[in-house]
């Protein structure tokens, strides 16, 4: 915990410094949501096809989902979401001719969440 997933359009792959973004995101999760540094886990998933409205070109999407154990206030979740989008602005360079649609959400993990480390 936290479990972080970053879905991003392949059109931004070369402009997105994913390792630096993950380090920044983890630091913000520790500071804002009291996460433990060693528990921060991020998976990046590149998507090949992106469609926004009727358009199949000229758009890219980056969506970040952060799953936390229950107990954080709505204010804390909102602060973390804003901080994550700010970090994305710092680690995603503009791509000429491409509109990037970025979003983030923080949600509570289901009470059934379990993990193990091998």
Structural domains present in the chain: 3-108 (3.30.429.10)
- In this predicted model, what pLDDT tens digit does every residue of 64-109 receive, in sequence order? 999 999 999 999 999 999 999 999 999 999 999 999 999 999 999 9
Mean pLDDT of 14-27: 98
pLDDT of 50 higher than 90: no
Q: Cα(7)–Cα(35) distance, rounded to whole angstroms?
A: 22
Report CA torsion sign: 68, 74, 78, 80: negative
3-state secondary structure 37-105: HHHCEEEEEEECCCCECCECCCEEEEEEEEEECCCCCHHHHHHHHHHHHHHHHHHECCCCCCEEEEEEE
CB distance 80 to 106 below 8 Å: yes
């Amino acid at each position: 915990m936290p479990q972080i997933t970053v879905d991003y359009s392949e059109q931004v792959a070369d402009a997105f410094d994913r390792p630096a973004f993950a380090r920044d995101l983890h630091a913000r999760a520790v500071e804002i949501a009291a996460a433990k540094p060693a528990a921060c886990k991020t998976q990046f998933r590149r998507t090949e096809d992106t469609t926004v409205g009727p358009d199949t070109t000229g758009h890219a999407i980056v969506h970040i989902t952060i799953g936390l154990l229950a107990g954080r206030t709505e204010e804390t979740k909102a602060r973390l979401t804003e901080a994550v989008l700010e970090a994305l602005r710092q680690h995603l360079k503009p791509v000429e001719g491409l509109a990037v649609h970025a979003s983030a959400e923080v949600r509570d993990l289901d009470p059934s969440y379990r993990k193990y480390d091998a």
